[in-house]
């Protein structure tokens, strides 16, 4: 591993990082994990290390208006505010590379941010109208009674996104700007927002 400096080149100034700003990053320049395999590390080019230590935070508040007291109509409306944070976890049991950390051997806090499952605002509502029943001994009641009509509505924020980079440095063996083959997040911006 070596230390490199990355300089932002954005003459338009529209990007999230300032044009000309420089950031130091650790860069992996050889294969293998010497911490795990010692001197044999260079014999292994692609290793997927899986750790079962999911750690997340979820906070939410729900406001609801519910009415079931009227004879012919019922309604329910609810608003949920929530915030889910995690360490770039995924829901894959096969070790999919899409949930990789930016740098698995460095500061794990670089991977902490809004969860891919974060939906901060959600509103759901429905109304149900029960048509009045016909009180008769006539056979028509079997066709007309116990009918209802309802409608529902839901709206929510979109799922978060992650700003990333593409391409590979010439001195690197794997993808990403640090050569670890990990996530392409920009650590100065962080994961999903």
Task: Choose among 104, 97, 111: nearest CA to 35.
Answer: 104
SS3 call for 138 = coil
- For 22, the token pair is 């420089």
Residue 86 lies in a domain: yes
Cα separation, 77 vs 128, in Å, equals: 12
Q: For residue 13, what are the domain limits?
A: 2-156
- pLDDT given at position 8: 82
Task: Choose among 116, 92, 112: nearest CA to 101.
Answer: 112
Residue 97 lies in a domain: yes
Residue 166 lies in a domain: no
- pLDDT given at position 93: 64
- pLDDT given at position 176: 60
Query: Does residue 98 register a pLDDT over 60?
Result: no
- Average pLDDT rounded to a whole number, residues 5-28: 82
Given phi > 0 = left and psi -120 to 50 = alpha, else beta, which region is 69? alpha
- pLDDT given at position 5: 81
Residue 89 lies in a domain: yes
Residue 34 lies in a domain: yes
- pLDDT given at position 77: 96
- Average pLDDT rounded to a whole number, residues 31-60: 72
Cα separation, 62 vs 44, in Å, equals: 50
Number of structural domains in the chain? 1
Residue 169 lies in a domain: no
Split at pLDDT 50, 70, 90, the class of 80 is very high
How do residues 112-131 score in pLDDT, each as one tens digit? 888 888 899 999 999 999 88
Answer whether 0.85 is exceeded by the pTM. Answer: no
Residue 83 lies in a domain: yes
How do residues 143-172 score in pLDDT, each as one tens digit? 888 888 999 999 999 777 766 666 555 555
Q: Which residue has the higher pLDDT, 98 or 10?
A: 10
CA dihedral 139, 145, 147, 148 (to 10 degrees): 160
Strand partners, 151: 127
Given phi > 0 = left and psi -120 to 50 = alpha, else beta, which region is 54? beta
Residue 168 lies in a domain: no
């Amino acid at each position: 591993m070596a230390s490199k400096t990355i300089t932002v080149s954005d003459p338009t100034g529209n990007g999230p990082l300032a044009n000309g700003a420089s950031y130091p990053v650790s860069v992996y320049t050889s294969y293998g994990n010497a911490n795990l395999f010692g001197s044999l590390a260079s014999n292994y080019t692609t290793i997927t290390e899986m750790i079962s230590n999911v750690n997340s935070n979820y906070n939410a508040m729900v406001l609801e208006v519910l009415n079931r007291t009227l004879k012919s109509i019922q309604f329910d409306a609810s608003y949920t505010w929530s915030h889910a944070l995690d360490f770039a976890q995924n829901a894959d049991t096969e070790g999919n590379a899409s949930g990789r950390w930016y740098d698995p051997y460095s500061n794990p806090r670089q991977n902490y941010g809004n969860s891919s499952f974060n939906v901060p605002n959600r509103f759901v509502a429905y109304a149900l109208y029960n048509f009045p029943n016909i009180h008769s001994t006539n056979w028509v009641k079997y066709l007309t009674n116990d009918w209802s009509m309802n409608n529902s509505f839901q709206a929510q924020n979109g799922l978060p996104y992650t700003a990333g980079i593409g391409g590979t440095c010439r001195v690197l063996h794997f993808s990403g700007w640090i050569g670890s083959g990990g996530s392409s997040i920009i650590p100065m911006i962080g994961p999903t927002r």
